[in-house]
Amino acid sequence: MPIETPRWVPPLLAVQFLTRVPVPILARLSADQAADGLARALAWLPPVGSLIGAVTAFVFVGAQAFWPVWVAAVLALMVEALLTGAFHEDAVADFCDAFGGTVSGERALAIMKDSRIGSYGTLGLGLVVLLRVAAMVALPPLLASAAIIGAATVGRLCAVTLAAIVASVGQGSAARAGRMPPRRLAMAMLLALPGMAPIAWLRPGATLAALLAMAGLLWWLRRFVLRRIGGSTGDCLGFAAAMGQLALLLAVAAR
């Protein structure tokens, strides 16, 4: 018989997946319901990203009433890291460590699973965070808020898109969720629209440029991970999310 998963399960699983917000009601799910709900939760990652971006933007703008803009940006990212458990930042470090050298296959997968961070991961993560801060402080508060929310949304959409175009390998959460079917990718795109609408209205050209850059990035990333490890992992999806997020911020901050 088909598994009947309540409609409220996928969005709450997406919240649990991307943040440290406790969702105790999910403990009532059976193992089959949890597995089915996780697969459906991928479509809800962009709107949950919008909520995360809204928190980051609120802290960034609010903190500027008390501290200089650079301090406000760092505080905003600190709060975001506490909210998400540095979920995508960990993925960026693992991805850079695994692929910064020339290893591939099982060796690369083993490096991604290693909790330790190497020189490639340290440098890659540091540069990504620094670029995010620099792009945020380059924008006026209203535009920065729209850009932060839009970037958080479209970054998760990048992760969802990669899950749709590359099969997963390994035993992590990406493998348990399975490959994203086209109808769920379409749903994710629709759910991403509210979070992307403000920055698309304020900076349509920059938004379009960022989307084109993300399409190119995903095309390259698909070829890259298929060649190096034969598929995608949760860290690959997290790296795609971080790069998509950074692409929009840099596009909006560009002169």
What average pLDDT does the chain have? 90
pLDDT digit string (tens) for 118-172? Answer: 899 999 999 999 999 999 999 999 999 999 999 999 999 999 999 999 988 866 5
DSSP string across the chain: ------TTHHHHHHHHHHS----GGGGGS-HHHHHHHHHHHGGGHHHHHHHHHHHHHHHHHHHTTTS-HHHHHHHHHHHHHHHHTSHHHHHHHHHHHHHSSS--HHHHHHHHH-SS--HHHHHHHHHHHHHHHHHHHTS-HHHHHHHHHHHHHHHHHHHHHHHHHS-B-SSSHHHHH-PPPHHHHHHHHHHHHHHHHHHHHH-HHHHHHHHHHHHHHHHHHHHHHHHHTSSB-HHHHHHHHHHHHHHHHHHHH--
pLDDT tens per residue, range 198-231: 999 999 999 999 999 999 999 999 999 999 999 9
